[in-house]
């Protein structure tokens, strides 16, 4: 995160200024975390791969010759993801299109850092101009910022 978004408190911890850049950053971080989660959960079944104690870096990060998979996110990232995704509830239910736009735009590929839904693709999915979708995204982010500031 850039230094312009944070400042140190007297206790030495970082305190972040709640603005649109901060909210977008946290939502995109949460979207990347969602996409990095494994497709299936842990199982109690014994697997052949779990017996090997020493693994290469490629195996432990999920890389193979045909597909690159991001490493599983840490518990801290998952906690931050839960917090940021809960912010979507600050957009009123009757504005569900704004929720949909902000939620879809937060999905960022964890390896390439590219948005899964570019503006034009969102516009085509909603039957609207991509500039209107950008305005709706900004409105949704503003609602989240106002809600966070009111709660603080």
Using CA atoms, how far apart are residues 3 and 76, in angstroms rounded to an integer?
Answer: 21
pLDDT at 3: 40
pLDDT at 21: 94
Using CA atoms, how far apart are residues 36 and 111, in angstroms rounded to an integer?
Answer: 9
Residue 107 lies in a domain: yes
| Chain segment 28-75, per-residue pLDDT in tens | 999 999 998 877 666 555 554 444 434 455 555 555 556 677 888 889
Residue 44 lies in a domain: no
Phi, psi dihedral angles at 71 (to 5 degrees): -65, 155
Using CA atoms, how far apart are residues 92 and 52, in angstroms rounded to an integer?
Answer: 50
Which residue do the tokens 């052949």 mark? 48
Of the candidates 130, 33, 135, 129, the residue with the CA atom closest to the CA atom of residue 76: 33
pLDDT at 131: 97
Of the candidates 24, 44, 8, 16, the residue with the CA atom closest to the CA atom of residue 103: 24
Using CA atoms, how far apart are residues 56 and 59, in angstroms rounded to an integer?
Answer: 5
Using CA atoms, how far apart are residues 33 and 123, in angstroms rounded to an integer?
Answer: 25
Q: How many domains does the chain fold into? A: 1
Residue 131 lies in a domain: yes
Residue 25 lies in a domain: yes
Measured CA distances, 131 to 55, 74, 137, 141 (Å): 48, 36, 10, 15
Residue 42 lies in a domain: no
Phi, psi dihedral angles at 14 (to 5 degrees): -85, 140
Residue 100 lies in a domain: yes
Instruction: Compare 61 and 16 and report the one with higher pLDDT.
Output: 16
DSSP class of residue 16 equals E
DSSP for 64-104 reads -SS---PPPPPHHHHHHHHHHHHGGGGS-GGGHHHHHHHHH
Residue 45 lies in a domain: no
Domain around 113: 15-37+53-151
Q: What is the mean pLDDT of residues 7-23?
A: 71
| Chain segment 75-131, per-residue pLDDT in tens | 999 999 999 999 999 999 999 999 999 999 999 999 889 999 999 999 999 999 999
Residue 5 lies in a domain: no
């Amino acid at each position: 995160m850039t230094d312009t978004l944070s400042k140190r408190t007297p206790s030495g911890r970082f305190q972040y200024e709640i603005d649109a850049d901060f909210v977008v950053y946290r939502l995109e971080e949460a979207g990347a975390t969602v996409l990095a989660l494994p497709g299936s959960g842990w199982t109690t079944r014994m697997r052949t791969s779990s017996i090997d104690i020493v693994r290469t870096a490629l195996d432990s990060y999920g890389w193979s010759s045909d597909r690159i998979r991001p490493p599983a996110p840490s518990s801290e990232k998952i906690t931050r993801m839960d917090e940021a995704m809960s912010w979507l509830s600050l957009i009123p239910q009757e504005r569900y299109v704004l929720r949909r736009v902000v939620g879809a735009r937060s999905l960022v590929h964890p390896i390439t850092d590219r948005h899964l839904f570019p503006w034009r693709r969102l516009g085509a999915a909603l039957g609207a101009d991509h500039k209107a979708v950008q305005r709706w995204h900004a409105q949704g982010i503003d609602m989240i910022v106002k809600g966070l500031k009111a709660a603080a």
